């Protein structure tokens, strides 16, 4: 642009002599060039949202600052211009294909100049559900994608802080499905809370341990042991024939016992449950009273602590169970009948580590949860004892009923991947049949009493509810998944060996080992050792 301006240099001159000077002012805009808006293209997952920094590759050759002025509307989605100059694109629900929109930028020149560019977005089907391994992971993947869809349908003002964290995980996993689909299955397995199933297994295992401890005491009563016993070994007098004998003092009818056990095992990873190692300690204290020579009643208190370490540094679970048991034993000749009934209070503290990598970076969070529950126990046993010389064999049958409940709870600490999990319940009936045997061997230094036990067990009835869960920050409270556990075992075995050495001066030492065989995916053992001294 060229503009001419006339100026009078000497006002006193006549018009004839006046000098007219023309000055030329040339505007800067004569050489100004508009900013360069460069077209963009992106690939994104369906039912997700994409934020594009459209200014990243735009420039102004004059060095002027540029800014986003407006964004056009695409045919198959919606756009929003953000305050930082980026653009958010959300495709219509279920849309797959190519979509475009335009945007306008301008510089800060006087007057400003503008340019327009086109953004092409390719929306692909990146559903992660088909990439999941196992039924549980697929159900979690379906709930995850549904939660992502619900969040994507909300405006920024409607999305909660937790929802934003979950949405970030949605975008990361969707991009992982596009770039590295072979890694999605592992990520989904980390997200799925399959570790929850180990809580009920720990609860059921503890009840068997407490039943076993009290059964040891009842076996001693059949053999005529009263007074104090430690880990199934009597500390003082024994009568014969399954009776306590006639005593002058009422306190002679009272017996107390203590049992200490160490146990551990391993559960292999399956298509439904996480693998883990566990170890625990079981303490049982009790007392009983002889109503008659052939009838005893008693009570026991038990504490079980179990620590679980999930495979591949997947977290841990600490379980404390407090059990109260009442029991009775009745003897008729070589036959004995035992019954136990009790209640247990449980406490669980869990840490579930979720670690994987997606295109947004490393994800490494720990979901922390705690809950409680209770259980009802019933155990009955019938046994027949056969003896010849130093050998004693005792075949038996046993029926064990367990009703266990674990309260629902919510996790925290895992950002958008926190879960809310429902209560758990199981009704289980186990039948066992087996034989126990001992043999007394006299030596110069004392008596050696090796023993063995062999039993076959069947979980003849098991009614276990699936665990129902949801993503805590999912805006749809009805979007849930359920987790199935491995089926119960129709037949497995338990074997045990041990020995007791009765030494001079009332000293005895013993060692016992038991192990479960034939239980698919589970290896479990129990060790007992101790010393007794007769006063």
The token duo for 377 is 């126990």
H or E element at residue 527:
strand 522-533
- 449-459 pLDDT, tens digit per residue, is 898 999 999 99
Tell me which of 114 and 7 has the higher pLDDT.
Answer: 114
- 397-415 pLDDT, tens digit per residue, is 999 999 999 999 999 999 9
H or E element at residue 221:
helix 197-222
Our CA angle for 282, 284, 289, nearest 5°, is 165
What is 296-351 written as a DSSP string? Answer: EEEEEEEEEEEEEEEGGG-EEEEEEEEEEEEEEEEEETTEEEEEEEEEEEEEEEEE
Q: How high is the pLDDT of residue 506?
A: 56
Fold of 194-533: Lipocalin (2.40.128)
Query: Given pLDDT bands bounded at 50, 70 and 90, which one contains residue 10?
Result: very low
CB proximity list for 505: less than 8 A, separation 6 or greater: none
**Architecture of 2-124 per CATH?**
Sandwich (2.60)
Q: How high is the pLDDT of residue 483?
A: 92
Which residue in 375, 372, 421 sits closest to 400, CA to CA? 375
pLDDT above 70 covers what percent of the chain?
A: 86
Distance CA 296, CA 356 (A): 58
Q: Is the pLDDT of residue 281 over 50?
A: yes
Contact assessment for residue 74 and residue 89, using Cβ atoms and an 8 Å cutoff: yes
Cα–Cα distances in Å, from 164 out to 52, 81, 87, 482?
17, 18, 17, 24
Distance CA 304, CA 318 (A): 11
Distance CA 522, CA 185 (A): 24
Q: Is the pLDDT of residue 168 over 50?
A: yes
Highest mean pLDDT among 173-177, 194-198, 203-207, 370-374: 370-374
Where b means 16+ CB within 10 Å and e means fewer, 295-324 reads ebebebebebebebebeeebbbbebebbbe
Domain boundaries, the chain: 2-124, 194-533
User: By three-state DSSP, how is residue 268 classified?
Assistant: coil
- 80-138 pLDDT, tens digit per residue, is 999 899 999 999 888 889 999 999 999 988 888 999 999 999 988 878 999 999 899 99
Beta bridge partners of 233: 230
Structure-token match 């295109």, residue found: 359
Which residue in 87, 102, 31 sits closest to 64, CA to CA? 31
Distance CA 495, CA 523 (A): 12
Distance CA 132, CA 470 (A): 17
User: By three-state DSSP, how is residue 194 classified?
Assistant: helix
**Range 13-17 average pLDDT:** 42
Q: Is the pLDDT of residue 194 over 60?
A: yes
Q: Is the pLDDT of residue 64 over 80?
A: yes
Query: Given pLDDT bands bounded at 50, 70 and 90, which one contains residue 249?
Result: low
CB proximity list for 66: less than 8 A, separation 6 or greater: 35, 55, 58, 59, 60, 105, 106, 107, 108
Query: Given pLDDT bands bounded at 50, 70 and 90, which one contains residue 327?
Result: very high
**Range 297-319 average pLDDT:** 93
Half-sphere exposure of 301 (CA within 13 A, CB side): 2
Q: How high is the pLDDT of residue 356?
A: 95
The token duo for 519 is 């239980």
Q: Is the pLDDT of residue 30 over 70?
A: no
Start-to-end Cα distance in the chain? 119
Torsion-angle region of residue 334: left (phi > 0), alpha (psi -120 to 50) or beta? Answer: alpha
Q: How high is the pLDDT of residue 228?
A: 44
What is 118-176 written as a DSSP string? Answer: EEEEEEE---SGGG--SHHHHHHHHHHHHHHHHHHTS-TTTS-HHHHHHHHHHHHHHHH
Q: How high is the pLDDT of residue 31?
A: 59
**Range 353-378 average pLDDT:** 95
CB proximity list for 324: less than 8 A, separation 6 or greater: 299, 300, 301, 302, 342, 343, 344
Residues across the chain: 535
Q: How high is the pLDDT of residue 241?
A: 38
Comparing 2-124 with 194-533, is the CATH topology the same?
A: no
Query: Given pLDDT bands bounded at 50, 70 and 90, which one contains residue 197?
Result: confident
Query: Given pLDDT bands bounded at 50, 70 and 90, which one contains residue 243?
Result: very low
H or E element at residue 214:
helix 197-222
Distance CA 91, CA 49 (A): 7
Query: Given pLDDT bands bounded at 50, 70 and 90, which one contains residue 222?
Result: low
What integer best gives the mean pLDDT of the chain? 85
Query: Given pLDDT bands bounded at 50, 70 and 90, which one contains residue 530?
Result: low
Contact assessment for residue 4 and residue 22, using Cβ atoms and an 8 Å cutoff: yes
Q: How high is the pLDDT of residue 245?
A: 41
Q: How high is the pLDDT of residue 16?
A: 41
Any idea which of 4-8, 125-129, 318-322, 436-440 has the lowest mean pLDDT? 4-8
Beta bridge partners of 483: 467
Distance CA 55, CA 44 (A): 19
Contact assessment for residue 437 and residue 446, using Cβ atoms and an 8 Å cutoff: no
Q: How high is the pLDDT of residue 507?
A: 63
Q: What are phi and psi of 272, to 5 degrees?
A: -120, -25
pLDDT above 90 covers what percent of the chain?
A: 54
Our CA angle for 347, 350, 356, nearest 5°, is 170
């Amino acid at each position: 642009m060229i503009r001419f301006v006339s100026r009078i240099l000497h006002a006193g001159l006549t018009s004839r002599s006046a000098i007219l000077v023309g000055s030329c002012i040339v505007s800067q805009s004569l050489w100004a060039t508009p900013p360069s808006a460069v077209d963009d293209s992106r690939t994104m997952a369906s039912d997700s949202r994409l934020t594009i920094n459209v200014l990243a590759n735009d420039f102004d050759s004059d060095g002027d600052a540029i800014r986003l002025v407006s964004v056009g509307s695409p045919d198959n989605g919606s756009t929003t211009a953000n305050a930082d100059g980026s653009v958010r694109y959300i495709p219509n629900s279920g849309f797959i294909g190519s979509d475009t929109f335009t945007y306008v930028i301008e510089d800060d020149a006087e007057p400003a100049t503008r340019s327009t560019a086109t953004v092409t977005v390719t929306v692909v089907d990146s559903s992660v559900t088909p990439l999941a391994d196992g039924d549980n992971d697929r159900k979690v993947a379906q709930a995850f994608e549904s939660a992502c869809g619900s969040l994507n349908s909300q405006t920024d003002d409607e999305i909660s802080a937790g929802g934003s964290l979950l949405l970030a995980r949605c975008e990361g996993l969707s991009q992982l499905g596009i770039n590295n689909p072979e890694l999605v299955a592992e990520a989904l397995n980390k997200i799925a809370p399959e570790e929850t199933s180990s809580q009920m297994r720990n609860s059921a295992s503890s009840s068997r341990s407490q039943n076993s401890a009290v059964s040891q005491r009842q076996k001693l009563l059949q053999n005529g042991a009263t007074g104090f016993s430690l880990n199934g070994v009597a500390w003082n007098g024994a009568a014969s024939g399954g009776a306590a004998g006639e005593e002058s003092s009422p306190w002679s009818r009272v017996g107390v016992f203590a049992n200490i056990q160490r146990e551990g095992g391993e559960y292999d990873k399956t298509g439904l449950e996480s693998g883990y190692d566990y170890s625990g300690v079981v303490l049982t204290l009790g007392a009983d009273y002889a109503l008659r020579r052939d009838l005893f009643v008693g009570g026991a208190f038990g504490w079980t602590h179990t620590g679980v370490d999930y495979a591949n540094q997947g977290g841990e679970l600490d379980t404390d169970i407090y059990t109260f048991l009442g029991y009775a034993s009745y003897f008729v000749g070589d036959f004995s009948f035992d019954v136990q009934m009790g209640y247990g209070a449980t406490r669980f503290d869990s840490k579930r580590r979720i670690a994987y990598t997606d295109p947004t970076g490393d994800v490494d969070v720990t979901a922390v949860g705690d809950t409680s529950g209770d259980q009802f126990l019933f155990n009955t046993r019938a046994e027949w004892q056969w003896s010849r010389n130093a050998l004693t064999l005792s075949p038996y049958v046993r029926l064990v009923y367990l009703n266990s409940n674990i309260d629902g709870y919510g996790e925290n600490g895992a950002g958008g991947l926190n879960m809310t999990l429902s209560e758990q319940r199981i009704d289980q009936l186990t039948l066992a049949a087996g034989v126990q045997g001992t043999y007394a061997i006299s030596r110069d230094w004392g008596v050696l009493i090796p023993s063995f036990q062999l039993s076959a067990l069947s979980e003849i009835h098991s009614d276990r509810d699936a665990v129902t869960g949801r993503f805590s920050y999912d805006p749809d409270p009805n979007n849930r998944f359920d987790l199935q556990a491995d089926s119960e075992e129709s037949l497995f075995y338990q074997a045990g060996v041990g020995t007791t050495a009765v030494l001079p001066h009332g000293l005895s030492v013993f060692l016992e080992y038991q192990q479960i065989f034939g239980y698919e995916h589970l290896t479990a053992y129990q060790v007992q050792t101790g010393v007794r001294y007769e006063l």
